[in-house]
Structure 1
């Protein structure tokens, strides 16, 4: 059977896939192919086009370090992020190195050939010595299976797949979920819909969004690399200080951040009943903190109703939603803003390693990996934004680029060894994972009194790295041959 053979196959064309491709090209490795399951490239910021979509990390830092950009505002909106993403792709000729509409069905390690065999739905079979999974943790949407969900006769979709052909103006709309995406959608549509019902499982802490437009002079300054780099690092170190609160000082969280959040809530929500519904009962930072100066005013509108866990969804019928209080809500549109399978479903397709062992079996209790990137028994496989590489206080791209230091080092060491495969040892992975979860016990994500998407079904916090991002970069930049097996 004909197979398309490459030295490296990258699965996913978002920022993870782009960073991998750029680093490979930088190393003189051009024998690679990017596989993208959608009919377009770009990942999150080309897929998530719901109203109000924007980044919650300052744009000069939320960008590839080697690809500066003259941003129009501090927190870029979706359309500008998409332009930036496409600019990177086109500048480096990545379209010609990508197969779109190529959904990976399964990847399997061929021990005899020391190659990964990648099966796809419609594009045939690929093989590669090195496999880099960059499909991302926020790529598999989750929609709760409420009783009667499929009987609804109106329109429904997930924020990840917003239907821009549907006109929601003047319609009766429900948004299920109250996290980061919902917090952006609600203010964007509240003044245009007839009525809006927001179903909140639990409230989030909200801080003001310190956004602003850059002047033409400031944008010109952003075009100067030394100044751009200075701004990036200024933002980076300011954000890095948050880890002190997340891990080392709950007093700092309570006195500084939580006090600001409560003041913000009181100033923007005059109704004491609504304000009580919107007041979390857990330590700030335990769940993702929302940055918004428009969410609370939108929830306070007369055409918006907030349903908390005492008045949640009991069932769905052809007309709409029946609440836990027995109220029938007739609706035209249900928007699922219910997040992603970002912990137990880190990789959405089957991965079969040495001895026919499925990765799902190895990760049955909870996903785990050395540096969040390499797994024993799965040679030459590198997972971008894998277990415990999420970061709650700064740019995810900083961590992705840190992972690339390790991945490129591993490939270079493999080439110099004259061997065909590199694999992290079970002892090294186990020691690393035990260290991660020991450190996690001290963090607000584990001890803050909430249940969040950061946690796997086992209760382990799998999404987050329990420390400073520069600590992760240091760990990823010091390749340790003794932790690896070459064959």
Structure 2
């Protein structure tokens, strides 16, 4: 299997060797799109008293970690990039993982952020000191950081979800998650099992099918997959987009508004999705001649209930002679096979988990104790995950989230959402500084009203009424992931900071 990894930039920032606590005004957790964007905008605003904690040895977040074959963005790169660092030189409409990772590395270096990053520092715990009005954060390496503000840029797609398979400990073959792709594993001629048919599997499965001797795909529920050919952008167009900013801006906005139109169908008008569903059904019909397989791959839920995917080679890979699609539940794993609930045994040499991430429980990694001594995961298990604007949560002063609860998207670029959140956080910091204060905490009633409004709108959305169960929902079936509306509505909601919604001291 050919690796798709990008050459890493050398580690640029050195964590001090002293065991003395390190103090800073703003401490950012993570160096993906969220963390880097926050760091760049702090510098642009003239706030240089900040640090970034990164658990790995290079920047990139999701786009550093996911190196599986075929890994690419499903939002056009003209929009899946910072507005302050737009680029016209993207080689394809939907850019590949190496190109996006390289973009983030270049932004970090160009904007003078890399030297502010402490690599190899994974947050393990932290607490708010009320007397000091400061956060104390500890890392796995034993370092302590003291900060007035903490900004979480950890995102939702960073903790791989491994299914609990009976007997997996007996398996003698090789197994790995798609988000931790093992490029040393040789797949040629092997009997390969892929567990899951979500966004990652859609992309890497055609590559695996070409190499594997036998491919067995275990599917819980099929995905809606639209036809998509990833066109290379002609050199002449790249030149114009790169050298004429106005054309790049117009192209970016055309992509934005085109994607934004999908929000009509996703939020209360699911019948508008029927034409798109017909295209997806045609995509199945043109690729799959076997009626039994075609039925297995046709979802029973409304398109948009789960993330809409795109591929021209996914269905042909499933229809290939060396591929078997299994929809029966996995009963157990033996030393060299997977056994399903109907008693059938499928010989396997390699297992690839395409089972997604811990999303709604991904915030459990933020073991931060708030003003009342309660840690964030326990607090949210009691109250349900809720925030104000997806950015702040009551009882945890001076803590901000980027891509926090209910700010994910099913139709447009999350980078747009991140940028609005960063602007809002900067306004919050300004408000605290202008009052010569030290702390800020959202009022409980304000947060409650926001969440009631969010859940009321989500009740009408396709994620609730579309007939599926997805990773957008928490263990209680509540959607804590998606923003229920247009992204311009989120821009409007975060455009102005209202000090009356907060307690500032």
TM-score interval (norm. to shorter) = over 0.9
Match of 1:326 in 2: 343
SS of equivalent to 1:169: coil
Match of 1:86 in 2: 105
Q: CA RMSD in A?
A: 1.1
Q: Trace 1:66-465 onto structure 2 (pairs within 5 A).
A: 66-69=84-87, 70-223=89-242, 224-254=244-274, 256-308=275-327, 311-364=328-381, 365-465=383-483
The alpha-carbon deviation at position 40 of structure 1 amounts to 2.0
C-alpha contact (below 8 Å) 1:7/1:129 kept by paired residues: yes
Measure, in 1, the Cα distance between the counterparts of 2:348 and 2:314: 22
Q: Deviations over 1:79-137 (max 9, x none)?
A: 11111111111112222111111111112101111000001111410010010000110
Measure, in 2, the Cα distance between the counterparts of 1:344 and 1:455: 10
Measure, in 2, the Cα distance between the counterparts of 1:325 and 1:303: 22
C-alpha contact (below 8 Å) 1:366/1:458 kept by paired residues: no
SS of equivalent to 1:66: helix
SS of equivalent to 2:267: helix
Match of 2:24 in 1: 6
Picking from 43, 49, 65, the partner of 2:67 is: 49
Structure 1: give runs of 5+ residues left out of the alignment.
Answer: none
Measure, in 2, the Cα distance between the counterparts of 1:448 and 1:366: 23
Measure, in 1, the Cα distance between the counterparts of 2:161 and 2:366: 15
C-alpha contact (below 8 Å) 1:40/1:100 kept by paired residues: yes
Matched, 1:27 2:45: yes
SS of equivalent to 2:146: strand
C-alpha contact (below 8 Å) 2:364/2:377 kept by paired residues: no
Structure 2: give runs of 5+ residues left out of the alignment.
Answer: 1-18
Measure, in 2, the Cα distance between the counterparts of 1:444 and 1:197: 31
Measure, in 1, the Cα distance between the counterparts of 2:426 and 2:228: 37
SS of equivalent to 2:315: helix
SS of equivalent to 1:7: strand
C-alpha contact (below 8 Å) 1:137/1:347 kept by paired residues: no
C-alpha contact (below 8 Å) 1:183/1:295 kept by paired residues: yes
C-alpha contact (below 8 Å) 1:344/1:367 kept by paired residues: no
Measure, in 1, the Cα distance between the counterparts of 2:131 and 2:170: 50
Matched, 1:476 2:458: no
The alpha-carbon deviation at position 279 of structure 1 amounts to 0.6
C-alpha contact (below 8 Å) 2:366/2:377 kept by paired residues: no
Measure, in 2, the Cα distance between the counterparts of 1:457 and 1:218: 47
The alpha-carbon deviation at position 330 of structure 1 amounts to 2.0
Q: Deviations over 1:368-398 (max 9, x none)?
A: 1100110011000001111000010000100
C-alpha contact (below 8 Å) 1:346/1:387 kept by paired residues: no
Q: Which moved more, 1:371-380 or 1:86-95?
A: 86-95
Q: TM-score, normalised by structure 2?
A: 0.94
Measure, in 1, the Cα distance between the counterparts of 2:295 and 2:96: 31
Which of structure 1's runs of 4+ aligned residues deviate more than 3 A? none
The alpha-carbon deviation at position 362 of structure 1 amounts to 2.3
The alpha-carbon deviation at position 347 of structure 1 amounts to 4.5
The alpha-carbon deviation at position 210 of structure 1 amounts to 4.5
Aligned residues: 484
The alpha-carbon deviation at position 2 of structure 1 amounts to 2.0
Q: Deviations over 1:198-229 (max 9, x none)?
A: 11110111111152111110110120221111
Measure, in 1, the Cα distance between the counterparts of 2:333 and 2:34: 38
Q: Deviations over 1:165-222 (max 9, x none)?
A: 1111111111101000011111122111111111111011111115211111011012
SS of equivalent to 1:24: helix
The alpha-carbon deviation at position 327 of structure 1 amounts to 2.0
